[in-house]
Amino acid sequence: MATTYDHPGERAAEDPVRLIAVRDTPLSLDEVFTAVSDGAAGGTALFVGTVRDHDGGADVAGLGYSSHPSAEAEITRVAEKVAAEFPVRAIAAVHRVGDLRIGDLAVVVAVSCAHRAEAFAACRKLIDDLKRDVPIWKHQTFTNGTEEWVGA
């Protein structure tokens, strides 16, 4: 959807995709927030996905994320699409792979825009599309000894 904005600060930045990564090391909120900092942004929305201790009524012991080699390129594609649809000043998305414990950060995404409403909407679109389209899979193990793959 193409939108015309009356003020230069409301237009999307020339290259708003600032940070995209798939990592096997702990994620940093500060790194992602800093990546989307922009003097023309009046609103920044940040989403943090963490490993919770339950799913579907069962207690989670831990989980592991694995990804297809194309995952980082797919996150870039998703971010570029969101940046084209919204007046994004800056956008970032980082997903963790490997074995994670309860409370660990699994994914951090952020978007800055001139106004908060666009930042919220763009951030929601970013995380929803990332979770739906990017080939990253979750293997959950439960305290009762069972396990399951999610998104595979």
pLDDT tens track for 16-64: 999 999 999 999 999 999 999 999 999 999 999 999 999 989 999 999 9
Tell me the domains of the chain and their CATH numbers.
16-150 (3.90.1170.40)
Within 8 A by CB and 6+ apart from 101, the residues are 51, 62
pTM beyond 0.85: the answer is yes
Nearest CA among 105, 89, 95, 106 for reference residue 133: 95
Pair of tokens at residue 101: 């414990």
Residues 98-138 pLDDT 10s: 999 999 999 999 999 999 999 999 999 999 999 999 999 99
- Residue with the larger pLDDT of the pair 12 and 127: 127
